Structure 1
Amino acid sequence: MPHPRFIQIHSLASYPGTLLNRDDAGLAKRLPFGGTVRTRVSSQALKRRWRFAGMADHASAAKVPHALQGLNIPMGDRSKDLVKHALLPTALEGLPVLHETVLTKLTEMLNVALYGKNGADPKARQALFFGHPETAYLQGVARDLAEMLAADAALLASVDKAPDKKALKTVEDNLKERLDPLKDNLRALSANTSGSAGLESALFGRMVTSDPRANVDAPVHVAHAFTVHALEQELDYVTAVDDLRQQSEEGEAGSAGIFDIELTSGLFYSYVAIDVALLVSNLGNDAVLAGQVVERLVQLIARTSPGAKKGSTAPYAHAEFMLVEVGDDQPRTLANAFRNAVQPKGDVFGRSVLALQDHLANLDRAYGVHTQRRQLSVTPPALDGVESVGLAALCGSLRQQIEAA
């Protein structure tokens, strides 16, 4: 098989009686498509589940062979408060206590340097991803600044009065001089350190409105998953029992609350496209690491479920069908196979696979065949003329192709 420029993953997974992804009203997210309302799972929800699958920390991730956290490159952290939660605790440790006005100025200028001109206002900040190498570098910068300020006795909390305007202006000028090269240094770190922005950014990109040069283009493109058929829903009537009321002498019914919770069922189509060359580039041109990442990511797509209300719906399923394509042409979704909603009666899965097969055949007739394909199929039917393999073989072949590149 040729070295792939793009990898495309199409999958079908079925979930009965769940609430996989909720909107602000607590209802299942929806998507109108082809004149029919479908149940939807957002791409953000999918990516977050893949990011944290199988781990509470790095030790537990090592026990899950397909967890992204088990690789040698940390995911990184997304935060609007990196200064407060990650930089200042390390920077100030063991130093004399700075005067409140001086600490406020240090905090403000660090936030502006990282989050842009409006960074001093927490509500105006953009939540950014920071890789662990970036955070470690920034902790060193913050420590140097704190030590510089703590060396001046007039700036400490122990002084009788607050530093005057002239002293604070000097503090601001000194901090600005030290922080001016910060973004250039971060870009240099990114250019010379593999995965400096974290595996999250290397996979799914990073947008920094305050500094477009710090942006990372996403090589993994994730579509919103949706049901191949119309929305199927049920309102679950729920009562919460008050055990102590029920046991009281008054003989109360014991209800502590009555609720309606929406549950949905459905067969979901999911689509992911991977720009292999960009992924390798984002990982410091390490093709071996890129191969391992793709191998694990495809495992996660097949085996990891999104899901809210886990305790009451157990929303766990594996993909029943997966088609993986590799090739050099621009990727294209097969979602339009379900533009006309599949009838939600009888063999929904079988009709869905046949709809995929018909749509793929129509595309092949119009444009030619420009991808090589393998499929995983748990239950019949499977696509005609496409080799069926197990998940391990499917993922292993992708890893080998990328490593060979």
Structure 2
Amino acid sequence: MTQTNLYIDLNVLQTLPPSNVNRDDTGAPKTALYGGVTRSRVSSQSWKRAVRQAFAQDAVNIGTRTKQAAQLLADKLTTLDSSLDQDAVIAKVDAAFKAASIKLKDRETGALLFVSPGQIDKLAQYLLDHDDFDKKEIKKVLKGDQSLDLALFGRMVADNPELNVDGAAQVAHAISTHEIVPEYDYYTALDDLQGDDTTGAAMLGTIDFSSATLYRYANVNMTELRNNLGETDAVQGAVTFIKDFLLSMPTGKQNTFANKTLPSYVMVTLRSDTPVNLVSAFEQPVSSRQGYLPESIQRLEAEYQSTLAFVDQPLLSVVLSREASKVENQVDNLTALLQQVTDGLAKAVQHENIND
């Protein structure tokens, strides 16, 4: 079947109060220089981990990234056949990893290996059903039954690139739409058993923080996601990713700052030609003493309109915003946004199938 391109763009504006959700090696909030000024930054890795944690909370089937994949396989073998002794289990596991061209040292892989529960289950069953292991079959098992996070974020296997998985999602580093000035909080702590505070502090220190209105962007290649998950699971998986990308938050210093906010503006776009990151809207930083959000929304929607001189008209654009939007299709709540995206994806897939 011939496949056409289909992409989902996620554009999000979200304000953060004083916070430190993603630290650098000095413990300070990460920053980036963009448009000649310092911006607040939250790394893509940090937000992808937050999304994976949100998947787990939603009972979504997720994978495990670990050096102890051999132990996972051994445990599953023992669960499936309790009559196997330890030596037999180890022999089967070693043979399987050798067939997959993945090196083990001290029962661990040299680097983190991303595996889904389905892959471990099927590989264990294959090892029980066969005495001689076929490399092609091992590869097939380790490429199939992908969990949603594995299908979205991909996998690199240095020992055997044939086991690599091309991730269907791209997540940008979130940056502030404006210049920020890093700050720090000086704090002290008293010893409860020393009586009143006239004896002085038992501990003192500082915590770095910043506040910002962030522009967050991600996209999903639906063609790649269908290759990884299959057509039916791809649509549901994409919608789940959208929801959890919008509602998740990295947890750095969250107990200190209680910074769990929600997006103030969301625009989801379905495109048939190319994904488009609208960060150029903020190359010239927003400047304001009355809040950054209103002008950030205006800038973002103006950039969206300007890109139409270069790319095709989107199949769908839908906005959820606390402010009035100039994009015609504006909804009142997240449920309505997700439903429109689901319907749009289903329509696009159906259209492709009819044309084929």
How far, CA to CA, are the matches of 1:90 and 1:324 in structure 2?
Answer: 41
How far, CA to CA, are the matches of 1:206 and 1:125 in structure 2?
Answer: 15
How far, CA to CA, are the matches of 1:96 and 1:356 in structure 2?
Answer: 62
Shift of 1:107: 7.1
Shift of 1:110: 5.9
Pairing partner for 2:257 from 298, 313, 326: 313
Provide structure 1 residue ranges, at least 5 long, that are not aligned to the other structure.
Answer: 56-60, 62-66, 146-176
Partner of 1:340: 284
Partner of 2:182: 233
How far, CA to CA, are the matches of 2:25 and 2:107 in structure 1?
Answer: 23
Partner of 1:9: 10
More deviation in 220-229 or 135-144?
135-144
Contact 2:50 2:248 in 1 (8 A): yes
Indicate whether 1:269 and 2:269 are aligned: no
Contact 2:77 2:89 in 1 (8 A): no
Contact 1:228 1:341 in 2 (8 A): yes
Indicate whether 1:286 and 2:235 are aligned: no
Shift of 1:230: 1.3
Provide structure 2 residue ranges, at least 5 long, that are not aligned to the other structure.
Answer: 350-356
Pairing partner for 1:134 from 115, 119, 134: 119
How far, CA to CA, are the matches of 1:132 and 1:226 in structure 2?
Answer: 34
Shift of 1:267: 0.4
Partner of 1:42: 43
Shift of 1:95: 5.2
Partner of 2:67: 80
Shift of 1:296: 1.9
**TM-score after normalising by structure 2:** 0.84
**TM-score after normalising by structure 1:** 0.75
Partner of 1:209: 158
Shift of 1:363: 2.3
Equivalent pairs, count: 341
Specify the code of the residue in structure 2 equivalent to 1:131: S
- Cα 1:344/1:107, change in 2 over 3 Å: farther
Pairing partner for 1:125 from 110, 129, 132: 110
- Cα 1:326/1:83, change in 2 over 3 Å: same
Partner of 2:352: none
Contact 1:230 1:344 in 2 (8 A): no
Q: Secondary structure at 1:88's aligned position in 2?
A: helix
Partner of 1:116: 102
How far, CA to CA, are the matches of 1:239 and 1:54 in structure 2?
Answer: 38
How far, CA to CA, are the matches of 1:108 and 1:257 in structure 2?
Answer: 52
Identity of aligned residues (%): 26
Q: Which has more radius of gyration?
A: 1
Contact 2:11 2:267 in 1 (8 A): yes
Shift of 1:40: 0.8
Specify the code of the residue in structure 1 equivalent to 2:341: L
- Cα 1:387/1:30, change in 2 over 3 Å: same
Specify the code of the residue in structure 1 equivalent to 2:64: D
Deviation string 1:28-47 (CA, Å, 9 cap, x unpaired) is 11111111121111111111
Partner of 1:173: none
Q: Secondary structure at 2:225's aligned position in 1?
A: helix
Pairing partner for 1:242 from 156, 180, 191: 191
Deviation string 1:174-224 (CA, Å, 9 cap, x unpaired) is xxx94x62x422333357x5xx13221111111112222211111111111
Contact 1:109 1:120 in 2 (8 A): no
Shift of 1:96: 5.1
Partner of 1:388: 330
Specify the code of the residue in structure 1 equivalent to 2:47: L
How far, CA to CA, are the matches of 1:197 and 1:335 in structure 2?
Answer: 31
Contact 1:115 1:125 in 2 (8 A): no
- Cα 1:216/1:258, change in 2 over 3 Å: same
